[in-house]
Structure 1
Amino acid sequence: MTEMTVIGASGATLPEAFDGRHLINGEWKDSEGGATFERLSPAHGVVVSRSAKGGEVEVLASIAAARKTFDEGAWRMSSGKDRAAILNRVADLIDRDRERIALIEVLESGKPIAQARGEIEGAADLWRYAAALARTVHGDSHNSLGPDMLGVVLKEPIGVASIITPWNFPFLIVSQKLPFALAAGCTAVVKPSEMTPSTTVILGELLMEAGLPAGVANIVLGYGDPVGAIMSSDPRVDMVSFTGSTGVGKRIVEAAAGTLKKVSLELGGKNPQVIFPDADLDAAADAIAFGVYFNAGECCNSGSRIIVHKDVADELLAKVTALSAKVPFGDPLDERTQVGAIISDAHRQKIDGYVREAEKAGAKVLIGGSDLAVPGMGGQFYGPTVIAGVTPDMAIAREEVFGPVLSVLTFTDADEAIGLANNAAYGLSAGVWSRDIHTCLNFARKVQAGTVWTNTWMDGFAEMPFGGVKESGQGRELGRYGLEEYLEVKTIQLRVAPGRANWVGDS
């Protein structure tokens, strides 16, 4: 068996459990009856946070606050300059508190501390980018409608936005949504995952310190039922923005259908990387290892499926397997660790189930494929896993595993590669590796994906839109498109000269 690179317990002293409450209309609130829930660290196996457990009372109060604040108009009618100033202050406060935010993110999610710091830094950049966009919101005018008419197109905030975020990148993903909603002039109700609620509470503290008016952003902690369900169906909510599983996304669409509110979804992925025989195999192998093990594979953009030309498959797999053994798995509080713990024991079992099923179907595990023992740690870890001999009909080739598991398929020509890449219900991201720009462009135009990387994987920029096709979602985040999601278009037609012709003639 190949020896893994394992980082044992660092012996770091853990802080006292974080206490989180709801933020409703500018005030911190406990739940009615004092209901709470706890979060155990997936890496350390101890309680790291206690949060107020929201119910119908709390979510309805939050929606009412957001609705009233929007309708009163002070925030939605404020200038882009004033909104930008607050968003920039939030970014500065995020930078100031980066270590505090990163630590609780590590404790609740199990991700490595170095990665968490990078994500918090990236989140601050998103707030600054959204601040810049706040000053660019504008409509259009049409002076070509004839001498008597002038047309004006306004772009206005859509209203109250329900923002529901996942556990895998809790602070980063709320920062892909909330600042854009605020930049547009919306008010919001935010529900973080019950597994990683605390960094969103910290964000609420920073919003208040930055001077965001009461009621503009409200935070409700708790579970999808009832909190998320009410946020998706209440008629006072104008839009739902959700990131999470495709199954939950479909239920949100159903809940929102009764009021025909707008729904923006960023869902699952089964993202292929296609490696042509002329590719730089060393660069591809490193990017493949990064793509599948980053965040323990618990990432919608995970490069969990490679499709490699048969002529170079053995050479590439040897490189990927060797790199897999070198990736440091273990204590997320150790600076050397690159892959931490799996979010929950139930999810770890689900990951292992996919691996066992693939083995039974004839696939071969080249490395990993089992739990990983980390000395001194009480949490759940899964080893780096590469599975060859995968065929398109296997579940592991089509379904989202959401773990550190790489499925390997092979091809003989470009058309077959594109067919295999598109052979999934998802269409979030895809990658292509070739030194021939024509090969890359042909693939990029034909693959069904919202993002295509060429000779790289998972680079990201605030300016570039992100989202998927097919069952990977609808709508876009980031870039100017991320702001447009929270805007409505209104047409105004002005008669600027007298003399409108009568429709009813003189008697």
Structure 2
Amino acid sequence: MRQYPHLYIDGRWTEPLEPREAELIDPTREEVFARVALGSAADADRAVAAARKAFETFSVSSAADRIALIDRIIDVYESHADEFSELIAREVGIPVGNRAQVTGPAQHMRVARDILRDYPFETRMGSAVVRREPIGVCALISPWNWPIQTGVIKLIYGLAAGCTLVAKPSLNSAASGALMAQVLHEAEVPPGVFNLVNGTGREVGDALSRHRDVDMISFTGSTAAGKLVGAAAAGTVKRVCLELGGKSANIVLPDADLERAARWNIQRCFFNAGQSCHAPSRMLVHESQVEQVVPFLVDEVRRFRLGDPLDSATTMGPVVSAAQFKSIGDLVQSGLDDGAHLVTGGTERPEGLDRGYFVRPTVFTGVTPDMRIAREEVFGPVLAVLPYRDEDDALRIANDSPYGLGGYVFGDDPAKARRVVNGLRAGRVSYNGAATDSYAPMGGYKESGIGRSMGRFGFEEYLEVKSVYGFENEARA
């Protein structure tokens, strides 16, 4: 049994004020594998006070010093890469073969460092000097589905900007959160600059959202939870950056390579057992071509190997929890009840996997836009295939959603595809499966969020803007 009995506050591992703990369940074995300290609102107060004190000096540290700090963090983080890989397999079921979950965070660290190297903190606008300054104490609430990367993106841009931080990881991934705090400790992040308080969203998350000494809150999670964060933060008019749910559409134009589009859609949608907010969980296919794509979809589904995430040959592990397992099953059943056609998968456990929260990779055709599986975020390996009549109909269906996080378009004619890309109301759109870029911003339209993370846009979320007059000759590049 692994034990994580401490919070990390003011550069020290410390016990919570009230001795409480939470159990972490291994989703493969359905058994407790670790216990973590459970903090409270009072512990959040301690962490915020430490961050507020540290801000006085860290906010005026030089860019060169912060670059050196990030370089140390990168070195220490990479020395723990295998430990992170094994840990997230145990706590949230991510296969050890999914190295992107572990290598990606280091890449984001390097991007933040590179942006900091050349960033103009003072510029001239007319007769004014415009300064960008660190916003202050930032509360960072991160999810379990990208347990390392999401938290790293938040903290590394905050550090690069000169902010001080209080992090609250998801309780499902609190063990890897503790290991990340250890990385920062070993990298000699100054006391109080980074603090870690485990706890529930209802208690610690709410306390941080409402706290008068927190200047910004960055939250990634469900839209329902994000609305609560935004409402709580409104009382102190702090900056709120939210990355929330998605129901992304992949529009496959009639001139697309259907096999390529279908196979890519399955791999991208079912990556991480479908637990990705950008998953293309709606595939829009011209009504005359639906039957042509089905064999490719089924064949690609059968290539997944479900099993123990600690086995390097496994390509799909379990979903994170019993609650998630039930939620996905309920939505698959709703597809059957609403009359969608089940092509593969279903509600039964995968063959040979009688223990663990394993879900059959599932594909529906005959889906209409009003069905729950076409409207709600399943957050599991479930794909809804919807037919469309023409380009305008495809855009109408794709945009008829409260979400607007991601979008995808496949087609052979770049000019036509670009019109469709421009018509999608989403924050990040990819053509023909093009890879994303860590320098570009990520975020959503509509109920998928507020603000942006990653790249220069993400860096600037952690900066305030000050206009200064009377120093016309002193603006620095």
The two structures have a TM-score, normalised by structure 1, of 0.91
In structure 1, what residue type is equivalent to 2:418? L
In structure 2, what residue type is equivalent to 1:294? F
Answer yes or no: is the 8 Å Cα contact 1:139–1:152 preserved in 2.
Answer: no
Q: Distance in 1 between matches of 2:12 and 2:135?
A: 25
Answer yes or no: is the 8 Å Cα contact 1:238–1:262 preserved in 2.
Answer: yes
Instruction: Report how far residue 143 of structure 1 moved.
Output: 7.7
Instruction: Report how far residue 371 of structure 1 moved.
Output: 3.5
SS at match of 1:329: coil
Aligned residues: 473
Question: In the alignment, which residue of structure 2 is the partner of 1:36?
Answer: 21
Q: Distance in 1 between matches of 2:397 and 2:207?
A: 39
Asked if residue 127 in structure 1 is aligned to residue 112 in structure 2, the reply is: no
Question: In the alignment, which residue of structure 2 is the partner of 1:158?
Answer: 135
Instruction: Report how far residue 209 of structure 1 moved.
Output: 1.2
Question: In the alignment, which residue of structure 2 is the partner of 1:390?
Answer: 367
Instruction: Report how far residue 68 of structure 1 moved.
Output: 1.3
Asked if residue 473 in structure 1 is aligned to residue 420 in structure 2, the reply is: no
Q: Distance in 2 between matches of 1:17 and 1:167?
A: 18
Residue 75 (structure 2) aligned to one of 92, 100, 105: 92
Question: In the alignment, which residue of structure 1 is the partner of 2:145?
Answer: 168
Asked if residue 339 in structure 1 is aligned to residue 316 in structure 2, the reply is: yes
Question: In the alignment, which residue of structure 2 is the partner of 1:412?
Answer: 389
Q: Distance in 2 between matches of 1:404 and 1:376?
A: 16
Question: In the alignment, which residue of structure 2 is the partner of 1:251?
Answer: 228
Question: In the alignment, which residue of structure 2 is the partner of 1:270?
Answer: 247
Q: Distance in 1 between matches of 2:311 and 2:394?
A: 40
Superposed CA offset, 1:274-299 (max 9, x none)? 11121112211221111221011111
In structure 2, what residue type is equivalent to 1:349? K
In structure 2, what residue type is equivalent to 1:167? W
Asked if residue 58 in structure 1 is aligned to residue 43 in structure 2, the reply is: yes
SS at match of 1:327: coil
Asked if residue 106 in structure 1 is aligned to residue 89 in structure 2, the reply is: yes
Instruction: Report how far residue 334 of structure 1 moved.
Output: 1.1
Answer yes or no: is the 8 Å Cα contact 1:110–1:343 preserved in 2.
Answer: yes
SS at match of 2:433: coil
In structure 2, what residue type is equivalent to 1:469? Y
- Identity between Structure 1 and Structure 2 (%): 38
Q: Distance in 2 between matches of 1:143 and 1:137?
A: 16
Q: Closer, same or farther in 2 for the Cα pair 1:373/1:153, shift >3 Å?
A: same
Q: Distance in 1 between matches of 2:462 and 2:211?
A: 18
Q: Distance in 2 between matches of 1:275 and 1:84?
A: 43
Q: Distance in 2 between matches of 1:440 and 1:52?
A: 51
Instruction: Report how far residue 25 of structure 1 moved.
Output: 0.3
Instruction: Report how far residue 373 of structure 1 moved.
Output: 3.8
Q: Distance in 2 between matches of 1:168 and 1:419?
A: 30
The two structures have a TM-score, normalised by structure 2, of 0.96
Instruction: Report how far residue 46 of structure 1 moved.
Output: 2.4
Instruction: Report how far residue 496 of structure 1 moved.
Output: 6.7
Asked if residue 142 in structure 1 is aligned to residue 124 in structure 2, the reply is: yes
Asked if residue 118 in structure 1 is aligned to residue 100 in structure 2, the reply is: yes
Q: Once superposed, what is the RMSD of the aligned Cα atoms?
A: 1.5
Question: In the alignment, which residue of structure 1 is the partner of 2:400?
Answer: 423
Asked if residue 242 in structure 1 is aligned to residue 219 in structure 2, the reply is: yes
Instruction: Report how far residue 485 of structure 1 moved.
Output: 0.4
Answer yes or no: is the 8 Å Cα contact 2:284–2:388 preserved in 1.
Answer: yes
Q: Distance in 1 between matches of 2:351 and 2:334?
A: 25
Answer yes or no: is the 8 Å Cα contact 1:389–1:409 preserved in 2.
Answer: yes
Asked if residue 366 in structure 1 is aligned to residue 366 in structure 2, the reply is: no
Larger Rg: 1
Question: In the alignment, which residue of structure 2 is the partner of 1:493?
Answer: 469
Asked if residue 402 in structure 1 is aligned to residue 360 in structure 2, the reply is: no
Superposed CA offset, 1:97-144 (max 9, x none)? 1000111111000111111x3221110111121122222332444385
SS at match of 1:38: strand
Q: Distance in 2 between matches of 1:91 and 1:144?
A: 40
Superposed CA offset, 1:76-107 (max 9, x none)? 11111110111111111111110001111110
In structure 1, what residue type is equivalent to 2:204? V
Q: Distance in 1 between matches of 2:303 and 2:161?
A: 45
Question: In the alignment, which residue of structure 1 is the partner of 2:328?
Answer: 351
Instruction: Report how far residue 19 of structure 1 moved.
Output: 2.0
Q: Which consecutive unaligned segments of at least 5 residues does structure 2 have?
A: none
Q: Distance in 1 between matches of 2:288 and 2:176?
A: 47
Q: Distance in 2 between matches of 1:106 and 1:493?
A: 54
Q: Distance in 2 between matches of 1:51 and 1:228?
A: 17
SS at match of 1:124: helix
